[in-house]
Structure 1
Amino acid sequence: MIIRRNKKKKEENPFYDPTLKSRHRSSKRFKRFTLGSLVFSIAFLAFFLTDIVTKGTPAFKQAYLLVDVTYSQAAIKNYRKSIDRKYRGVVSRAWIREVPNMIEANPKLLGKTIPTWVLADDQVDQYLKGHYYKLKRKDRALIDDMKAYGKAELKFNEIFFTNGDSKTPEYAGLKSAIIGSVLTLIITMLVAFPIGVMTAIYLEEFADDNKFTQIIEVNINNLAAIPSILFGLLGLAIFINLFGLPRSSPLVGGLTLALMTLPIIIVSSRAALRSVPDSIRQAGYGLGLTKIQVTKDHVLPLAFPGIMTGSIIGLAQAMGETAPLIIVGMIAFIPDAPSMVTQAATVMPAQIFTWAGMPERMYIEKTAAGIIVLLSVLISLNALAIYLRKKFEVKW
């Protein structure tokens, strides 16, 4: 019956297609599937960002207590005697240890008792934020009493940006990791950008299409797809074991990330050079310019926005890498910020990874806050890439 009905409709309309309705239904199902996938992806991203921001925002506040600090000779010999006994369980021990150094830096403090806002213990910080805490009943009563009289407050956490890592959670910060990341990225950029761009120019503009260049292109494409941890093993074998460069230094980390970023820069730079119309080259040759002059003065400036975009995105990806830097030792405990590329350092992804494995509850919010800072930097780098691309496109 169905075949007879379709045959009759075919006789009435020669353009009738019996599969048209089923294809329309299939198209609608595919459209609903793609729309559902998009909604699911956006919902997952929104959930992720909401969770990170909710957990990380409290880390930008830190608990401080107003207590009387006694700067005496006894405090120099035993820092615990600088504050009253009842406050010793709620004040940060790391802060109290600094009292002898304060007296040494400012001798006029000696013999004085001054009300001072001091850093609270991490358990007090969690208690004031309404998180999980481990405080004795008498300490909770003391904090409640101080809060009622305005002697316990949550203030902006400057320590998070001015201190390096610390064994005490309330004193741990991102300063050394941020400086280590900057130094590592500088090395990566200085090595990967010029070598990658020059390699792309040679392969796209000057190299002949032969077996040798084809092998190079295949290897470059393969290197862009291999796991990043293999670059860490390569950096460990070459830069540390073979050349003897200092382990855990931004120099080794930058060179390792440069190896990982090179294929990305080469591929993106070649695509940018390939997008320049051949008419630009032919016009230059018609005016009697050499191939080097055409490439340097005409092709490269027009391709530069795409080259910059690909390079910055490659550097942003390198900044978020953890696995290769763990292999070369940049996950060590580094409390002090490095001042040279040969000194031991850590980077933000490795610092976040370290905090994520710490048992103290305060590190949960510090981990999320570190992710917020890292995401902000990555988004800024991508925004810079878009800005530079548009700027150079308008210029040219």
Structure 2
Amino acid sequence: MTDATPEQVGAALDKRLARLRAGLKRRHARETRFKLYGQLAIGAAVVFLVILLGRIVEQGHTAFYTHTVTVPVYMDPAQVDRAYPQGSNFEQMAAEQQLARWGIADDARGDVSRDMRGLFSSELKFVAADLVARRGDVIGETVPLAAPLSDDADLYLKGEISRDVPQEQRRLNDRQLAWLDRMKAEGVIGSHFNTALFTNGDSTQPEIAGVLGAVVGSALMLMVTALIAIPLGVGAAVWLEEFAPKNKLTDIIEVNINNLAAVPSIVYGLLGLALFINWMHLPRASPIVGGLVLALMALPTLIIATRSSLKAVPPSIREAALAMGASRTQTVFSHVLPLAMPGVMTGAIISMAHALGETAPLLLIGMVSFVPGVPHAIDQPVGALPSLIYIWENASERAFHERTAAAIMVLLAFMIVMNAAAIILRRRFERRW
């Protein structure tokens, strides 16, 4: 050993302390950078989410209100068919009489009345026919008829169609825009909440199309999915976690369940098409087929979530129950499963919410066709919210695009409610060990 002077010892300690301080500074800098990266990632995610939701709300908020025109129409006995009112041309009658009140004459080809008729929705015909069917005494009288405006007229009053655009590039000409301004000034056009969006089924006319049929179809499918997936998923998870022997067979089953959770949803659609429609000959585009396909897709997620909940129950609960003389089955179903139920319910709700938003499997089993009205059974052709969004977005009418965004908002609202229910249930019933 060499003898070192106090000065040399002090210098060595200073160098070591300097290295320690430099290392500590670098470590703190790395921690600071890591926190900054995390904050930047969260901030970027929030920004993109706000942009996405803002764009959807910006495009879809106008679908929640609509414009209705109320015009007096003389039920000309010479033009109204008493036996079959639906065959009467009420739209032409309303257009001609409105022009006559303004002192505007039709031309030889009928272009003027055709332009006026284009401002009224075809729903006016059904409103008038229903009135004649209920009250035959209105024939020969002048009655006020209230009906939605056409989709293009509605878009103009919402500011979606501008006068600055050349007439050749819009579906309403200058004459029709002037008529709309005049009717609005006269007070025959009013705006109100679009109840038809929530009370009507799908339609080829955007102004009267609604999401009720798709909402009912999605509800029926989720009912089938829940009745199949939840009992099977919970039962499979309980058996694998509590009763299954630990061998190669169960290892293979567990690996395949984990792999199935990552399979693209379109593969389940192909499986449903081949198995349930082509082989079992179940009704195409029906809630029972959609529910079966979504149940297959939800099973892996539900099994994994349930097993995680069962694993979270402390082993002391099982040991205490067995020590008191309970059987293995009594221990699982009387003690372990009730304590794991909050996690099981959370997994079930999240898997159902995931199934609610799936589109690709539904398109492959036929839920891409036009289905008017509201379904009443699980074996009838139905629509679903995701497929309705797909259909409306691909429609040529511009008014369907705002309704697409509105349908997305309805779907997001359902998913937010379901995920909020999962969070509330977990916080309400969760036990900390």
SS at 2:147 equivalent: strand
**SS of the residue 2:297 aligns to:** helix
Give the RMSD, CA atoms, in angstroms. Answer: 2.1
Deviations 1:328-372 (A, max 9, x none): 111110011111000000100110111111121111210110011
- Hey, what's the Cα distance between the residues in 2 that align with 1:286 and 1:26? 51
Task: State yes or no: 1:99 paired with 2:136.
Answer: no
Look up the SS of the partner of 2:392 in the other structure: helix
Please say if 1:78 is aligned against 2:82: no
Task: Name the counterpart of 1:274.
Answer: 311
Distance (whole Å) between structure 2 residues aligned to residue 161 and residue 313 of structure 1: 25
TM-score of the two chains, using structure 2 as the length reference: 0.86
**Residue 115 of structure 1, CA deviation:** 1.7
Range that drifts further, 318-327 or 86-95: 86-95
> Which segments of 5 or more consecutive residues in structure 1 lack a partner in the other structure?
1-6
8 A contact 1:316–1:382 mirrored in 2 = yes
Deviation per residue, 1:224-260 (Å, 9 max, x gap) = 0110100000111110011000100010000000000
Structure 1 residue 33 corresponds to structure 2 residue 37: yes
Which segments of 5 or more consecutive residues in structure 2 lack a partner in the other structure? 1-8, 100-115, 162-169
The counterpart of 2:144, out of the listed 110, 115, 118, is 115
| TM-score of the superposed pair, with normalisation by structure 1 | 0.93
Map of 1:156 onto structure 2? 193
CA separation of 1:153 and 1:102: change in aligned 2, threshold 3 A: same
Superposition deviation, residue 155 in structure 1: 1.2
> For the structure 1 residues 393 and 108, does the alpha-carbon distance in structure 2 shift closer, same or farther, using more than 3 Å as the test?
farther
After TM superposition, the runs of 4+ consecutive aligned structure 1 residues lying more than 6 A away are: none
Once the two structures are superposed, what CA deviation does each residue of 1:64-120 show, in whole Å capped at 9, x if it has no partner? Answer: 112113345423342234413244121112432453243223334333321232210
Distance 1:78 1:395 in 2: 71
Taking only the aligned residue pairs, the percentage that are identical comes to: 43
Query: What does residue 3 of structure 1 align with?
Result: none
The corresponding residue for 2:118 is 89
Alpha-carbon distance in structure 2 between the residues aligned to 1:263 and 1:231: 12
Alpha-carbon distance in 2 for matches of 1:335, 1:172: 9
1:127 aligns with 2:156: yes
| Matching residue's letter, 1:226 | V
Which residue identity is paired with 1:286? A
- Give the secondary-structure state (helix, strand or coil) at the position aligned to 1:380: helix
Q: Judging changes above 3 Å, is the alpha-carbon distance between structure 1 residues 287 and 103 closer, same or farther for their aligned structure 2 residues?
A: same
Contact 2:92 2:117 in 1 (8 A): no
The answer to whether the 8 A contact 2:224-2:292 is kept is yes
Higher radius of gyration, 1 or 2: 2
Total equivalences in the alignment: 390
Range moving further from structure 2, 129-138 or 157-166: 129-138
**1:178, distance to aligned residue in structure 2 (A):** 0.6
Greater Cα offset, 87-96 or 248-257: 87-96
Give the structure 2 partner of residue 222 of structure 1.
Answer: 259
1:249 aligned to 2:278?
Answer: no
Q: Is the 8 A contact 1:82 1:99 kept in 2?
A: no
Following superposition, the deviation at residue 199 of structure 1 comes to: 0.4
Aligned to 2:388: 351
* Aligned partner of 1:53 among 51, 57, 66: 57
Residue type matched to 2:122 in 1? R
